[in-house]
Amino acid sequence: MNADTNHPASAGHRPVVGICARTAPVTLQGSDLAVCLALRSHVAFLAEAGCTPLLLPPLPGAEDVAGRLDALLVPGGPDLDPALYGARPHPATRAVDPDADRAEIALVERALDAKIPVLAICRGMQLLNVLHGGTLHQHLSDVTGHDGHRPRAASFTLGRRPLKLLPGSRIAGVLDEAEPATACHHHQAVDRLGAGLSATGWADDGTVEALEVTGHPFAVGVQWECGQTPDARLHHALAAAAARAGNSPAAARPGT
């Protein structure tokens, strides 16, 4: 088994992995409510890998718990506020929540500074790029000329695109397969890559599908929807990195 996917049980404790929550409307027992939630698959994959998932609402001050985490998962979600990267909103950009964006950016920045392992998925990868000074294509089909990354369908449908990975990269080591492919659902993507980031995966049309923070023990962004398929390899890789982080001396963990 690849070193990045070893089960963390040997660490002697259950690493705590923060999951950035999403706010969404639901109807429960006839009442319309707004709730903070996470995909059950993210919770289940991390739990089965020996971790304790912890939901983190997108509020100011959430960054203060970063140093007490063993890892952080930043899932998919709504579009980022284009003002964060100096752009005007595209007509297709929607569901923007500037306050939540800034709270999440502060949390991710604090986690990276503390060298906590980070897995950033879809919107999470885009946020990682913007945090490092990068920009986004606000509507990818304007650039690629197709809707293959977010197929037009009556129900939620994943786009399947061949994936080219940088040999020797962390993401290539985690996936470890001859012909990887994405399972994606995104209409935005990396435009200018942020400073201190390395692109490590691309779709067949050149869209950046994976990136890594240079010099960080484990900070990986993927554009595809891991969590919407049965593939738990990235969650298990994060869990293994969390176990290693949990074994580090507390003095080396800012905020603890």
The residues, ordered by sequence, that sit 6+ positions from 248 with a Cβ below 8 Å of its Cβ are: none
For residue 200, give both structure tokens: 């490590």
Residue 56 buriedness (CB in 10 A; 0-12 / 13-18 / 19+): buried
Q: What is the pLDDT of residues 203-216, one digit of tens each?
A: 999 999 999 999 99
Delimit the domains of the chain by residue range: 3-248
Alpha-carbon separation of residue 40 from 43, 72, 74, 118, 242 (angstroms):
5, 16, 14, 19, 20
Does position 252 have pLDDT exceeding 60, yes or no? no
For residue 166, give both structure tokens: 């940088």
Q: What is the spatial distance between Cα 231 and Cα 245, in angstroms, rounded to a whole number?
A: 23
Find the radius of gyration of the CA atoms of the chain: 17
104 within 8 A of 127, measured Cβ to Cβ: yes
Alpha helices in the chain (DSSP H): 40-48, 98-113, 123-131, 141-144, 170-175, 233-246
Q: What does the pLDDT average to over 30-43?
A: 89
Instruction: For domain 3-248, give the CATH superfamily.
Output: Class I glutamine amidotransferase (GATase) domain (3.40.50.880)
Distance between first and last Cα of the chain = 32
- Stated length of the chain: 256
Q: What is the spatial distance between Cα 57 and Cα 46, in angstroms, rounded to a whole number?
A: 18
The residues, ordered by sequence, that sit 6+ positions from 24 with a Cβ below 8 Å of its Cβ are: 34, 35, 37
- In the beta sheet, which residues pair with residue 219? 118
pLDDT for residue 89: 96
For residue 125, give both structure tokens: 């990868």
When pLDDT is cut at 50, 70 and 90, the band that residue 153 belongs to is confident
Does position 27 have pLDDT exceeding 60, yes or no? yes
Alpha helices in 145-251 (DSSP H): 170-175, 233-246
Q: What is the pLDDT of residues 124-152, one digit of tens each?
A: 999 999 999 999 999 988 988 888 788 78
Q: Residue 250's Cα: distance from chain center in Å? A: 25
When pLDDT is cut at 50, 70 and 90, the band that residue 12 belongs to is low
Q: What is the spatial distance between Cα 161 and Cα 22, in angstroms, rounded to a whole number?
A: 26
pLDDT for residue 36: 85
Q: What is the spatial distance between Cα 129 and Cα 132, in angstroms, rounded to a whole number?
A: 5
Q: What is the spatial distance between Cα 120 and Cα 49, in angstroms, rounded to a whole number?
A: 18
Does position 87 have pLDDT exceeding 90, yes or no? yes
Q: What is the pLDDT of residues 171-184, one digit of tens each?
A: 999 998 888 888 88
Q: What does the pLDDT average to over 185-199?
A: 95
Q: What is the spatial distance between Cα 126 and Cα 221, in angstroms, rounded to a whole number?
A: 8
Q: What does the pLDDT average to over 117-127?
A: 97
Tell me the percentage of the chain whose pLDDT exceeds 70.
91
Q: What is the pLDDT of residues 220-238, one digit of tens each?
A: 999 998 888 899 999 999 9
